[in-house]
Amino acid sequence: MDFYKYHGTGNDFIILDCRGRVPFLSPREIEELCRRHTGIGADGIIFASDSSTGAEAEMRLFNADGSEAEMSGNGIRCLAKYLFEREGISKEEMLIDTRAGAKAIKLEVAEGRVSNIEVDMGIPDFTGNAGETSILLDSGEELRAICLSMGNPHCVIFVNDVGAAEVERLGPLVETHSFFPARTNVEFAQVASRERLLLRVWERGVGETDACGTGSCAAFAAAINRGLAGKMMVIGLKGGELKIKVDDYGHLHLAGPAVEVFAGELSRYWRGQE
């Protein structure tokens, strides 16, 4: 079984090409492959599947705990780079289907290599959660947050110092709070200026990650909601920077790099088979 390892600003994924066949790993096997010490190691696994709509591919995304996610802004950039450089889909504009709908992608290419990828992430959905929400924890702590969807759920908490934010303690408490029946991604955001935001993300089903594309878009949208941002922001994350802009129709456009780390073949013994 061939695999490819990619990352987008430190948010890393295993890509398995399943076009012509259905994804074939169980949640337990996905969890095992994503383990850092006994597997390949990743924040999640992307299955490149056949599209039924005419798109270049469909992205099926699974978190490190084996649960399926709707969308990843970093993951879809990695998949687009894979399709262009490894699979010969030499289009500088692509469509990739996701559980959050089809996403339009533009690739910047130089000498046959993809240097930057921009994704139309769509319109943030504040339905039912516009403005601020109060999250009451079992400890009695009350957190003020802005909740929204970027095709997947997000809870944005603004902080004065993102470096001092209690991500490891508060992240899992908010992720699994009863307010979020499908769990949620949690963003801890510090607005440095109207053009720059610092961010740490506790990803649903993963833990704290070096970057999150949908989380960056959610934090930008929440900053706009609060009147703290203009039409473009640079998002500073542990793994690097992402750029987001909003167009005249309210769509957010996420731009950043994707990097192929290595390719390999899983041993036939990894599942304990002869």
Please state the residue numbers annotated as binding site for substrate: 11, 63, 73-74, 152, 185, 203-204, 213-214
Assign residue 151 a region (left: φ > 0; alpha: ψ between -120 and 50; beta: otherwise): left
132, 126 in Cβ contact below 8 A? no
Find out whether 242 and 219 touch, Cβ atoms under 8 Å.
Answer: no
User: Which residue ranges make up the annotated binding site?
Assistant: 11, 63, 73-74, 152, 185, 203-204, 213-214
Q: Which of 231, 260, 262 is nearest to 245 (CA)?
A: 231
Q: What DSSP letter does each residue of 88-157 carry, written as one string?
A: ----SEEEEE-TT--EEEEEEEETTEEEEEEEEEE--B-TTT-SEEEEE-TTS-EEEEEEEESSSEEEEE
Active-site positions? 212
